Amino acid sequence: MRLTVTTFLTLDGVVQAPGGPDEDRSGGFEQGGWQVPYGDDEGGEIISARFASASAFLLGRGTYEIFAGYWPHVPDDNPIAAALNKLPKYVVSTTLTELSWQNSTLIGGDVAEQVAALKTLPGQELQVYGSGQLIRSLLAHDLVDEFQLLIYPVVLGAGRRLFGEGTPAAFRLADSRTTSSGVIVATYLPDGRPRYGSFATTPEPEHHRALR
């Protein structure tokens, strides 16, 4: 299976509590629900299409608890609920000891090794949603095959960000589109580590100089 990450973030990279004020108030965060005003049919179709490619899910503890509190109560005629309730869910946690949501398996110990083993199983995509801390760990171990970032036209100035200090990485844009509400949906593929240079030794494009 390919390991794919789909996540919502602001222009300043915040991923905390997109769906509601009480979704995640850790660290004193009071701006939850920033995603909601930008909801539209296009965004819903994009997410539904993503779930249609899922063979299994990989979730951090916080995202698991949010999902487990909601999706088991949604009828399976909802395609997202059908996927989440029926497909295998692998949950990375050092604090949980049991999982009540059906088809859920706890992952502990050497997470990178176990996730690498999951990727060898047959199927389309092992999908990650939310789970910022887990995503950073997966990125550090070169386990992510694709990022789908839904970037919302809002700056919060506070909150947990998707990419903090950690392993530098470069990406290649594979696809992009913009919804009617101004959300940029960008699909990136890993492209090794960042490459560096200097315009002191490399000719600088004329339009670059105009911007400096």
Q: Would you say residue 195 has pLDDT above 60?
A: yes
Residue 187 in this model has a pLDDT that exceeds 90: yes
* Model pLDDT, residue 207: 64
What rounded mean pLDDT belongs to the chain? 92
Contact of 131 with 4, CB cutoff 8 Å: no
- Residue 164: pLDDT band (50, 70, 90) is confident
- Decide if pLDDT at 46 tops 80: yes
What is the rounded distance in angstroms from the CA atom of residue 1 to the CA atom of residue 208? Answer: 41
Single pTM value for the model: 0.90
- Which among 97, 101, 70 has a CA at the least distance from the CA of 87? 101
Cβ contact 13:164 at 8 Å: no
pLDDT tens digits, one per residue of 92-109: 998 998 999 999 999 988
